[in-house]
Chain A
Amino acid sequence: MTAVEVLFSLLSAMAIGSALLVALSSDLVHCALWLVVTLGSLAGLYLLLAAEFVAWVQVLIYVGAVVVLLLFALMLTRAPIGALSGLDNSTRGLAAVVAVATAAVLVTTFASGFRDARLEIRARDVGSAGTLGATLFTSWALPFEILSLLLLAALVGAIVLSRHQEPD
């Protein structure tokens, strides 16, 4: 194994382990904090796959914004701090079966399709801010603009939903 493979395996194990803790922990705040570890190690995986700009966007938006938003929502809904019982519903066994089946299908599909494929990352694959920005504003300009409309709509929708309405 090369150094990159060792590093990738370690970061993968970290991501999967902390995702498992998100799935199994009985403390809501701990779940949100383990999610930070998952998302952060995913940013490391993006860096190893030469997606430099995506990695920093991941750190900024997911670790910086989304998890803070989740923690805010936990506090606004008065989530108790400490271990809770009854966070899982009664069909969690069935859910585990479905999840294992999903993993089995995906892993066998990928293993049969890409068993021998190897990643060889070249210098021009590196998605730095410059190259990715140039691509986004030339080839992907229309989806980018539509996405800005979608974000605006989501912003307005969130404001409308969370405005305090007087009961009639």
Chain B
Amino acid sequence: MPVLFPLVTSSLLFAIGVYVVLARRHAILVLMGVELMLNAINLNLVAFDALWHDALDAGQSLSLFVIAIAAAEIGLGLAIVLLVFRTHRHINVDELRELADRDDTLASAADGAATS
């Protein structure tokens, strides 16, 4: 089997993950995009492990590590998403602008909300 089969598949999956992260507004969909990208990388690691017959099984071991890190990431990410939902009543990433550099009207509106 040509090694291009898995490599092209993982490239396309990674690109779809990039699109999901950039184009979606719902925070949980953004997390799904991250999962797609991590899976594309795992496929690459496994393919190169099979290509180079690695004596340490580096590709497969690293893909296990990536899966564990992805599990940790999704746990923390969903905790943050639930916290955002509790404080904002929505999880639309386009409207979560508290950390942005604000203009005057937004800043005064936020001050008014804080004092009231």
State how many angstroms separate the Cβ of A96 from the closest Cβ of chain B.
6
Residue of A nearest to B63 (CB): A54
- Indicate which residue in B15, B23, B65 contacts A103 across the interface (CB closer than 8 Å): B15
- Indicate which residue in B18, B20, B33, B64 contacts A102 across the interface (CB closer than 8 Å): B18
Report A82-127 residues with CB < 8 Å from chain B CB: 86-89, 91-92, 94-96, 98-100, 102-103, 106-107, 110-111, 114-115, 117-119, 121-122, 124-125, 127
- Cβ-defined contact, B20 with A22, below 8 A: yes
State how many angstroms separate the Cβ of A131 from the closest Cβ of chain B.
7
Is the CB of B29 closer than 8 A to any CB of chain A?
A: yes
How many A residues face the partner with a CB closer than 8 A? 86
Residues of B within 8 A of A (CB): 1-9, 11-20, 22-26, 28-29, 31-33, 35-36, 39, 42-43, 46-47, 49-51, 53, 56-57, 59-61, 63-65, 67-76, 78-83, 85, 91, 94
Q: Which residues of A contact B13 (CB under 8 A)?
A: 15-16, 19, 38
CA distance A25 to B110 in the complex (A): 35
Interface of B is mostly: helix
Residues of A within 8 A of B (CB): 2, 4-5, 8-9, 12, 15-16, 19-20, 22-23, 28, 31-32, 35, 38-39, 42, 45-46, 49-51, 53-54, 57-58, 61-62, 65-66, 69-70, 72-74, 76-77, 79, 86-89, 91-92, 94-96, 98-100, 102-103, 106-107, 110-111, 114-115, 117-119, 121-122, 124-125, 127, 131-132, 135-136, 139-140, 143-144, 147, 150-151, 153-155, 157-158, 161-162
